[in-house]
């Protein structure tokens, strides 16, 4: 296994607004180095359409190997209309799939935080979402999206059959549940595990293994089991009942999208994808905003960099164990929003519009205070 270089970030800006939002993270890394002597090292490389344009592939082997020797990959976004008709193997998104698969990033963390300053942007009533802070942990490399057999095959009389297989092993379930329990200990100490154990054997195994792990290693964390369809309903009815939700790949895909809508704005949502820790405690990880490359606003200097900056804060917290610096950065974002400074996508009456770089500068100004 390639040795991880401590405190080294690989920045992969990608396409569209990717370079603009990653540009603000670069400023923040530089600020930490100059003002807090943190000795962060950063390297930048092409990925997605930008890599295809130069090298004919969405990610070169060289860039992939660079990703193996960094403590964290920070990605902007990939894709755009220019690449929509490429063969599937050359599409910008292949780079993300390759990184997730080859780095074995099995746990996808998506916080859904509703900033009190932006509560009006949610489609739900303010009292339901104000102060919301949920973490959804989705299993990312197993389940029905990967299970075999799969495919579409002809059957009798012109009929066809579509097949996907939902499988999980005990160890796949336990390793993602462990991530959820560890996270809960740093938060409000509560895990809700979601499956469909009433109708699926794989769901029954999921429930049993999560409970077993809890009873063996995490007795001090509160654990509830919930059917995934009930969870979908509870997220709309009373989302603040949740702290950490852990679930499989399929249900996690849906529940995390649903939870993200509670918060109202795509430009604010970070994510992390984590691998397993090796015996030296090293972990592969990739951090990226939930949004895409937003070609409609690329190059205009109006993209919201907060989702990417908060993704970087997650990297500080989960890859580098720098909780204080992560807290400071998240607090700086809150302060800027308190001041009524907004990028175009989150403007409302009485607030002041600033550019992408204006937002980065305002956040740095609060770090400085």
Active-site annotation holds for 196: yes
Taking residues 29 to 68 in sequence order and writing x for each that binds ligand NAD by CB under 6 A, - otherwise, the string is ----------------------------------------
Is 282 exposed, middle or buried (CB count within 10 Å of its CB: 0-12, 13-18, 19+)? middle
Q: Smallest gap, in angstroms, from Cβ of residue 250 to ligand NAD?
A: 18
Q: Smallest gap, in angstroms, from Cβ of residue 76 to ligand NAD?
A: 7
Q: How many helices (H) and strands (E) does the chain have?
A: 12, 14
> Is 303 one of the binding residues for ligand NAD (CB under 6 A)?
yes
Enumerate residues 6+ apart whose C-beta is below 8 A from 146. Answer: 249
> Is 273 one of the binding residues for ligand NAD (CB under 6 A)?
no
Per-residue tokens: 182: 């560890």
Q: Smallest gap, in angstroms, from Cβ of residue 204 to ligand NAD?
A: 33
> Is 79 one of the binding residues for ligand NAD (CB under 6 A)?
yes
Stretch that binds ligand NAD, among 155-163, 244-252, 303-311, 321-329 (CB under 6 A): 303-311
Q: Measure the CA–CA gap between 238 and 138, rounded to whole angstroms.
A: 20
- Verify cis geometry, omega within 30 degrees of 0, for the bond prior to 149: yes
Nearer to ligand NAD, 92 or 275 (CB): 92
What DSSP string runs through 26-58? HHHHHHHHHHH----EEEE---THHHHHHHSSS
Active-site annotation holds for 253: yes
Task: Give the DSSP H/E element, type plus range, for residue 272.
Answer: strand 270-277
Integer angstrom CA distances of residue 51 from 43, 60, 70, 71, 79: 15, 8, 19, 22, 11
Q: Which of 41, 133, 182, 253 is catalytic?
A: 253
Q: Which of 229, 321, 323, 338 is catalytic?
A: 229
Nearer to ligand NAD, 249 or 304 (CB): 304
Active-site annotation holds for 145: yes
- Active site (catalytic) residues: 145, 196, 229, 253, 257
Binding site for ligand NAD (CB under 6 A): 17, 77-80, 96, 266-267, 288, 291-297, 303-304, 307, 345
């Amino acid at each position: 296994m390639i040795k991880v270089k401590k405190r080294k970030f690989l920045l992969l800006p990608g396409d569209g607004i990717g370079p603009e939002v990653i540009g603000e993270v670069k400023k923040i890394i530089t600020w930490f180095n100059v003002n807090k002597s943190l000795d962060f090292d950063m390297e930048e490389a092409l990925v997605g359409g930008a890599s295809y344009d130069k090298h004919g592939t969405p990610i070169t082997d060289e860039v992939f190997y660079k990703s193996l020797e960094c403590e964290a990959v920070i990605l902007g976004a990939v894709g755009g209309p220019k690449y929509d008709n490429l063969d599937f193997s050359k599409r910008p998104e292949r780079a993300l799939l390759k990184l997730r698969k080859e780095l074995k990033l099995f746990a996808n963390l998506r916080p859904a935080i509703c900033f009190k300053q932006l509560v009006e942007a949610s489609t739900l009533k303010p009292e339901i979402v104000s102060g919301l802070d949920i973490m959804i942990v989705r299993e990312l490399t197993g389940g029905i999206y990967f299970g075999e057999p799969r495919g579409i095959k002809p059957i009798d009389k012109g009929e066809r059959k579509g097949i996907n297989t939902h499988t999980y092993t005990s160890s796949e379930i336990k390793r993602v549940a462990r991530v959820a329990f560890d996270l809960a200990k740093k938060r409000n100490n509560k895990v809700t595990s979601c499956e469909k154990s009433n109708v699926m054997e794989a769901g029954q195994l999921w429930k049993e293994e999560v409970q077993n792990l809890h009873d063996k290693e995490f007795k001090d964390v509160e654990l509830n089991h919930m059917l995934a369809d009930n969870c979908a309903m509870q997220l709309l009815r009373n989302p603040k009942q949740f702290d950490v939700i852990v679930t499989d790949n399929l249900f996690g895909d849906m529940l995390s999208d649903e939870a993200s809508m509670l918060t109202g704005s795509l430009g604010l949502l970070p994510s992390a994808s984590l691998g397993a820790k090796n015996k030296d405690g090293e972990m592969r990880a990739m951090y990226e905003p939930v949004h895409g490359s937003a070609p409609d606003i690329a190059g205009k200097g109006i993209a919201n960099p907060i989702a990417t900056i908060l993704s970087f804060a997650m990297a500080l917290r989960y890859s580098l164990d720098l909780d204080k610096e992560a807290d400071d950065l998240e607090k700086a974002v809150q302060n800027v929003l308190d001041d009524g400074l907004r990028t175009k996508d989150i403007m409302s009456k009485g607030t002041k519009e600033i550019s992408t770089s204006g937002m980065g500068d305002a956040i740095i100004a609060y770090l400085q205070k």
